[in-house]
Amino acid sequence: MVETTTSGAQPAAGIGVAAVGPRFTGARVIVTGGARGIGARIAERFATEGATLAVLDRLSGPGLAQAESMGAWFGEVDLAEPESTRAAMTSAIGELGGVDVLVNNAGVLEFGTVLDTTVEAWDRAFAVNTRAMLLTTQVAARSMIDAGRGGAIINLASMAGKYGGANEAAYAASKAAVIALTRVTALELGEHGIRANSLCPGYVLTEMGAATRTQEMVDLWSSYSPLGRLGTPDDVAGLALFLASADGSYLTGQAVNVTGGMIMH
């Protein structure tokens, strides 16, 4: 594991309790898949609001650079590997002195129809998109429970997890599983003051899928939104911070659309 450390991690005001100054002064936040795209922007936004951060990603170069730019700790990890995932989470919590917010952002995009999806593609999608969230949640939640301060868990699902999507058999199924896992987490951990919600972005312009994305696709997808545009990482990051903040303290078990009105339920 490649890692850098940052000093001065401080205990956070309880997540869900209003504080003076930036919303997350002293809060300890872990973001998976924080090297680029939505995860990087979420991490940046938490940092600007006073949080102490740990970034986990398999991309050591971009991940380390991103972490250093925010004064964060970085851990290189392949979230498809269960033991490495648990070890990275334990290291991150140790470096931060605890955890108040966990953002499970890391994911992989697997294309394939129901008839053509391979077992390998199916297993890879579920290993990273769903199973890793279970493992990180287990480690983080146990730390939150032991600390007795509550906490917030935010899982990145997808619009595909609600409506499916042609040629996305494994991806859509894995994201639907994220929504279900989030609801169970909310039900089981609420008594400990831990809230769990999922975000369901629509089409967001990030590095994921860029290799196969054309301008014609962008124009078509934009037409699906009443707003006439695709999402940005900031659109998702702003809502992630809201869900982790005191303003979102009575929200749990929700699967919140960030789709520009592409779906409205």
Instruction: Report, as residue numbers or ranges, the catalytic residues.
Output: 171
Reading the block at residue 63, the tokens are 């991940």
Q: Are strands 151-156 and 194-201 parallel, antiparallel or unpaired?
A: parallel
Cα–chain center distance at 25? 20
Distances in whole angstroms, Cα of residue 142 to Cα of each of 133, 135, 148, 186: 14, 11, 10, 14
Taking residue 212's Cβ as centre, other Cβ atoms within 10 Å add up to 8
Residue matched to tokens 């545009």: 229
d(CA 13, CA 169): 42
Reading the block at residue 179, the tokens are 């929504």
